[in-house]
Structure 1
């Protein structure tokens, strides 16, 4: 296991054998939430760093979401991750927000402040960039135009992150042009919209290709794109991580493009919340990837 800093996981270190009255509790709120990998992820870090803490799934029906977020401080929780479909409701529940959460228009990380108020952040874009930096050392957002497939919430977080990283242009492709144009119009930066059917033209001279759609996920239709016009030195990444190597990544790897899978985004986006709740800056290692995938992708 890599020991890169004083907070790195140590062999033989385990969580306390039982929870105490000082246990710090966080969780993940969503509906449904049973499929979430976050309890396994955060639970692994809690064991590795020997922290008196717990991280639990919080199944919150949509008609109870406001009450659930308001109840976090009253129950003594230190915070929570938020997954679909509650990210926009979480933003509305916060007294304070980070700039990136405000720009993305959604919150995936809640921190209970000492005065009992909720502070909201969105770490999806952070996780996206950190995954690329770890998986493709030397990658820079300013390398060239970025092609982003899809115009949903994930695409919005990716676009904000790419603009902040210096991307000279984002080519946003989606089946619904109205949705793509609405996203582009709400952000400051050079974003050019086109239908997904024009992906070949958009890939010329691109430095990055990102799939933010569910196409290619297990049980979903494949992503039908032609990579022939894409430069072979362009980085290709897919937010889908089940399967870990999607058909898009396999096709890109086969033609010589560097590729980065989507699992690292899930792992890296969790780091800021864990540090805020439990006081330790956790690492993303190969061992962590193996543990999170142990019982197969969900």
Structure 2
């Protein structure tokens, strides 16, 4: 996966690099804590700030940032799809997923868009479950939104033999099958528990189970104790899904690491150093 991550590595400008995260709203974002920790740890010049941008102002703001000393930005809800229409260069992965989360503002004025969510997802699993192998068996993905699409793309690229998916709106899951191919098998939401049978990787890629959101109500009776279970939700860190899976003997991985790892390629490009994801970073962001 790493070879087509952000690879436009022109020399960083002489001025202090500026980057940030674009969203509406944006006050909840932990990205400033994350990048700020790295800047301080490595004693690097640069600043990373939250950038609240209304959807109707996105194009104007992006063009302005490229003229103001910004070297790039992260993108979050609701702009992740829209930026693909604005960017001058879009990676194949971002185009396939249909969203971008990382932008580079090149010295020639062009905007380069990538999606590093899948990279972050796989890196989180390999760091926290070193024995995990995508090829061991089927993967079961709950959800069919933007995050789920990144997960699906990364799991298929990693070699899962079958990818099962379910979503409350079945049409969105069927669209993923149509775009990602024959290895994808769609399950009705009412039969979601059945898709866990024999699955060696189980992923919640919805917001269900998050603090303040609806609970995730999927029966885990068919879940094998040999499965790895991960939840993209990280508030709370140990969701009800992870708690129950752990009680059944499963290896579990929380979702915070995906947030941390997806930030690595952008930080490296903007500030000139590849940062490390470790426990100090986790605690700083928490």
- Pairwise TM-score range, normalised by the shorter structure: over 0.9
CA distance in 2, matches of 1:266, 1:88: 18
Selected match of 1:200 from 163, 173, 193: 193
Tell me which residue corresponds to 1:292: 285
Cα displacement (A) at 1:66:
1.1
Residue 29 of structure 1 corresponds to 22
1:262 equivalent in alignment to 2:255:
yes
Contact persistence 1:163–1:189 (CA under 8 A): no
Distance change in 2, residues 1:48/1:189 (3 Å): farther
Cα shift readout 1:234-258 (whole Å, capped 9, x = no counterpart): 0000000000000000000111100
Q: Would you identify which runs of 4 or more consecutive aligned residues in structure 1 move more than 2 Å?
A: none
Partner Cα distance (1:125, 1:55) in 2: 23
State the 1:189 CA deviation.
Answer: 4.6
Query: Gaps spanning 5+ residues in structure 2: where?
Result: 1-13
Pair 1:101-2:94 in alignment: yes
2:218 to 207, 211, 225: 225
- C-alpha offsets along residues 66-117 of structure 1, whole Å, 9 cap, x if unaligned? 1111222111200000000001111111111211111111110000112111
Structure 1: gaps (5+ residues): 1-20, 294-298
Q: Which residue of structure 2 lines up, in the alignment, with residue 11 of structure 1?
A: none
Cα shift at 1:186: 1.6
Q: Deviations over 1:123-170 (max 9, x none)?
A: 000000000001100211111100000111111110000110001111
Whether the 8 Å CA contact 1:32–1:59 is kept in 2: the answer is yes
Q: Does 1:243 align with 2:236?
A: yes
TM-score by length of 1: 0.90
Instruction: Tell me the distance in 2 between the aligned counterparts of 1:147 and 1:60.
Output: 35
Match for residue 138 of structure 1 among 131, 135, 141? 131
Once the 2 structures are TM-superposed, how far is the Cα of residue 188 of structure 1 from its aligned partner?
3.4
CA distance in 2, matches of 1:52, 1:176: 46
Distance 1:287 1:115 in 2: 37
CA distance in 2, matches of 1:173, 1:99: 25
Question: What secondary structure is seen at the aligned counterpart in 2 of 1:52?
Answer: coil
Question: How many pairs does the alignment contain?
Answer: 273
- 1: CA distance between counterparts of 2:182 and 2:233? 26
Alignment-derived partner of residue 5 in structure 2: none
Q: Note the alpha carbon deviations across 1:178-216, whole angstroms, 9 max, x for none.
A: 111012212235111112221221111101110011111
Cα contact 2:15–2:69 (8 A) shared by 1 = no
- SS in structure 1 of the partner of residue 21 of structure 2: strand
Partners in 1 of 2:165 and 2:230 — Cα distance? 15
SS in 2 for 1:208: strand
Spell out the pairing of 1:44-59 with structure 2 (5 A cutoff): 44-59=37-52
**Residues 7-18 of structure 1: pairs in structure 2 closer than 5 A:** none
Cross-structure match for 1:155: 148
Does the CA contact (< 8 Å) of 1:70 and 1:93 recur in 2? no
CA displacement at 1:259 relative to structure 2: 0.2
Distance in 2, matches of 1:201 and 1:251, equals 17
TM-score, with structure 2 as normaliser: 0.93
Following superposition, the deviation at residue 22 of structure 1 comes to 2.3
In structure 1, the residue matched to 2:272 is 279
Which stretch of structure 1 is more off in the superposition, 177-186 or 54-63? 177-186
Look up the match of 1:80: 73
Offset of 1:221 from its aligned partner?
2.0
